[in-house]
Amino acid sequence: MNKENGVEEGVSDLLAFTIPSLEDVERLHRRLEESAEEAEVLDVAYTTIDTPSGTLLLAATEKGLLRVAFEIEGLDSVLDDLGRKVSPRILKSPKRLDAAAFEIDEYFERRRRTFDLALDFSLSSGFRQLVQQYLPRIAYGTTESYKSLAALVGKPKAIRAVGTACATNPLPIVIPCHRVLRTNGELGGYLGGLAVKTSLLQLEGAA
């Protein structure tokens, strides 16, 4: 064997040794997930799912579902924000989000009208959290105005604050802020964009 061939074979052997396969990476990641869960050092688990409204990021703590984010928000930015506000111990761990992913799939398939998930409301507080916790009472296929919602939560003059609570809802779709419209019937704003808000209302037969 000449020197040149020996070098080429040596490089090939080195590359084969140092570059793991995709299966190896996935296996190592699963072991990391399991170890993090067992050691109770995984504060925020996340995954992404494909839906008719685009890619969604789902994040959860041990308390429950914490965040549903649209791709338009910038998923890396959302994770960075969770790292600052909740904990830097974040790992992609779909297992913790299995139930949420399943129920969201059912919703888009028109097989689910209400969600039965544990929720973590720690990204909101005060009046915003009060409004967000009320939103699931707006029935599937129906809508409320910002004005009527303000009255329902006992603050009839807080129309703008209700709008802010809806606009900053960390759990869209699951917490149905898309069912809240302006008094004149216009859509108002929506975190995922007005096209997504329209499609959700159409899915529910509310538009």
Task: Report the catalytic residues.
Answer: 177
Cβ neighbours of residue 9 closer than 8 Å, sequence gap 6 or more: 1
What SS3 state is found at 107? Answer: helix
CA 52, distance to chain mean position in Å, is 14
Per-residue DSSP letters for 135-163? GGGS-TT--EEHHHHHHHTT-TT-HHHHH
Q: What are the structure tokens assigned to 12, written together?
A: 């090939």
| Nearest CA among 63, 49, 169 for reference residue 106 | 49
Q: Tell me how far apart the alpha carbons of residues 180 and 178 are, in angstroms, rounded to a whole number.
A: 5
Q: Are 126 and 189 in contact (CB under 8 A)?
A: no
Q: In terms of C-beta density within 10 A (0-12 exposed, 13-18 middle, 19 or more buried), how is residue 127 classed?
A: middle
